[in-house]
Amino acid sequence: MRGLIVIDVQNDFCPGGALAVAGGDEIVAPINGMMDEFEAVILTQDWHPATHSSFASQHEGAAPFSLIDMPYGPQVLWPDHCIQGSPGAEFHKDLLVDRADLIIRKGFRPEVDSYSAFFENDHTTPTGLEGYLRTRGISSLVMVGLATDFCVNFSAVDASKLGFEVSVRTDLCRAIDMDGSLAEAEGNMRQTGVRLL
């Protein structure tokens, strides 16, 4: 059985949002159009408390997009985004949310960020998605969404390491591409056995 994982197609990652990814809204209609091809559709949703430790605003004098060391490793400091219950955290208005079998919220623990749909950024705390997919009998995953070089990349790599067959539809993703992060992410995915379509 095949599952479609739609990653973080939220207002704050679309044009006009707090952490906008160029062209982020262009992928919504084609994603909607492919949902019926899959036995399961799972949406992920960035869901941060306002005091999240990955926000530059929580570190005095820190600039957005700078790097700091956290107990779990290097962490990019982001502009405040996808705050729980805010309009920015809502899915894009045209995304067929009602078609989803499951919505996984991530990044809600204030002390650790979560790019991957499967693990927090400590790489050990699970989101529960793996167990859901296994109990549903889903072994093949196609990933789409935002952003290619962060949440899509981390999700795809983790899924492949967990033994799922993983493909990323790069035409239905958009990237931040910060200091070559897109090329690095594509290399990481290929190296882990992820198919880039």
Q: Is 142 exposed, middle or buried (0-12, 13-18, 19+ CB in 10 A)?
A: buried
Considering the candidates 8, 46, 80, 158, report the single residue annotated as catalytic.
8
106 is catalytic: yes
Q: Which one of the listed residues 12, 14, 80, 151 is annotated catalytic?
A: 151
Cβ-contact 157, 196 below 8 angstroms: no
Q: Give counts: helices (H), strands (E), the chain.
A: 4, 8
93 assigned to active site: no
In the block, which residue shows the tokens 């198919």?
Answer: 195
Task: Please count the residues of the chain.
Answer: 197
Residue spans of alpha helices (H) in 39-180: 129-136, 153-161
Per the CB < 8 A criterion, the answer to whether 53 and 16 are in contact is no
CA dihedral 74, 79, 85, 86 (to 10 degrees): -160
Active site residue: 106, 113, 149, 173, which one?
A: 106
Residue 161 annotated to the active site:
no
Q: Mind telling me the catalytic residues? A: 8, 106, 151
